[in-house]
Structure 1
Amino acid sequence: MPAVVVRRGPVPEYGSVRRVLDGDTYEVLLPAGLVRLRLLRVDAPELSQPYGKQAAALVAGLLRGRLLEVSRTGGSTYGRVLAGLRVAVPTSGGTRHWLRVDSMLVAQGWAWAYEPGQATPDLAGLQRLAQHYRRGLWQCGTATAVRPGIWRAYNKQEKARAWVGCSGWPRE
């Protein structure tokens, strides 16, 4: 009888960020080489849309120079590997605390909770709190935030109109 191997989830790999492309896409150096990752469970603003550069800068500041734990799902979109990502944050006691990057982005208001076809109650709760406290992209209210998929479909005039009406948006 052949042996059966049961996997309980992706085997984590460890590496470091080389480049942050936007709030949810990064180039990470792993033992096997450089990999372009798309963070699971969130959708961050595009660089060209309101708060996109701020989301990317927040992630870059959090990830640079720190150990990353990458859990690949095996899926791929647009040449990117879909993965969960945790970052090692040192504590005062000399140990490390592992922080989920998806949770941090949503809690700070720099990404939408997003998982097609699945519920994400933990992230949805964090998103509601970020909206309530008007953090990040929610600082002008929920009606003004435009999901990245909708933003990409907008023409130039629609994008220009989307920038109007909120003094909190940084104009680049």
Structure 2
Amino acid sequence: MIASKFRTVIAAALLSSSASAITFDAKVVDVTDGDTVKVVTGETCTEGKNCRAGLVQYRIRLAEIDAPERKQPYGTKSKQALLGMVGGKQVKVEQTDIDRYGRIVAQLYAGQLWVNGEMVKTGNAWVYPQYAKTQALFQMQDEAKKQQQGLWSLPEGERVEPWKWRKAH
């Protein structure tokens, strides 16, 4: 009964782009790139778009940040950094929105670690200014630049914001 109610609440949230924040625990089962993961909730299911191997699964897009694309310079390293932080781990998902691809946009926590912020702080992702609401992210990015962390160690010509890279490719 509880599992059914949980799926109903999540499903309702997925149908609404203005869904109120929902928080749930899940296990990361795949890291797509430096800002997208797949998680399973541990709740069982038998069919449906979000049912994989009998468990409820969601694609999660990290809120407020944008990581290099897979074929973009630093894309592989960004993905590896996220994999190291959350791969196979239990995480807390704090949904903030649903994107145009149906992914849950969320703040992600691995224990006490704020994953979205850590990706920026370590130079593995940019702040996505179009969607950023957390001022601390800009400060983290400035510090990563100053310290030449991660992608900020690349030659300037290779540091192309993902939103500009996608448009060009």
> What TM-score do you get using the length of structure 2 for normalisation?
0.75
CA distance in 2, matches of 1:143, 1:64: 31
Q: Check if 1:152 corresponds to 2:163.
A: no
Distance in 2 between the 1:119 and 1:29 partners? 27
Give distance in 2, aligned partners of 1:106 and 1:148.
Answer: 13
Letter in 1 for 2:70: L
Q: Distance in 2 between matches of 1:55 and 1:117?
A: 20
Kindly name which structure, 1 or 2, has the bigger radius of gyration based on alpha carbons.
Answer: 1
In 2: Cα distance, 1:140 partner to 1:66 partner: 30
Q: Structure 2: which 5+ residue stretches go unaligned? A: 1-19, 44-55
Instruction: Provide TM-score, normalisation by structure 1.
Output: 0.73
| Equivalent position of 1:108 in the other structure | 122
- 1:29 is matched with which residue? 40
Alignment RMSD:
1.8
Stretch moving more, 24-33 or 13-22: 24-33
Aligned pair partner of 1:49 in 72, 80, 91: 72
Per the TM alignment, residue 139 of structure 1 is displaced from its structure 2 partner at its CA by 0.4
The alpha-carbon distance between structure 1 residues 139 and 85, as it changes in their structure 2 partners (threshold 3 A), is same
**Residue 73 (structure 1) shift:** 2.0
* AA of the residue aligned to 2:162: P
* % identity of equivalent residues: 33
Deviation at 1:108, TM superposition (A): 0.4
Deviations 1:27-69 (A, max 9, x none): 1111441001110010000010010100101111111232100
More helix by share: 2
Partners of 1:80 and 1:130 lie apart in 2 by 28
Task: Find the aligned partners of 1:154 and 1:13 in 2 and give their Cα distance.
Answer: 36
Match of 2:154 in 1: 140
| In 1: Cα distance, 2:64 partner to 2:132 partner | 9
**Relative to 1, partners in 2 of residues 1:67 and 1:118: Cα closer, same or farther, differing over 3 Å?**
closer
**Relative contact order, CA 8 A, sep 6+: which one is greater?**
2
- For residues 119-166 of structure 1, the C-alpha deviation after alignment (integer angstroms, 9 at most, x for no partner) is 4320000000000011111103656410111111224xxxxxxxxxxx
Runs of 5+ in structure 1 lacking a partner?
A: 1-8, 89-97, 156-172
SS at match of 2:96: strand
Distance 1:67 1:117 in 2: 26
Equivalenced residues, count: 138
* Aligned twin of 1:20: 31
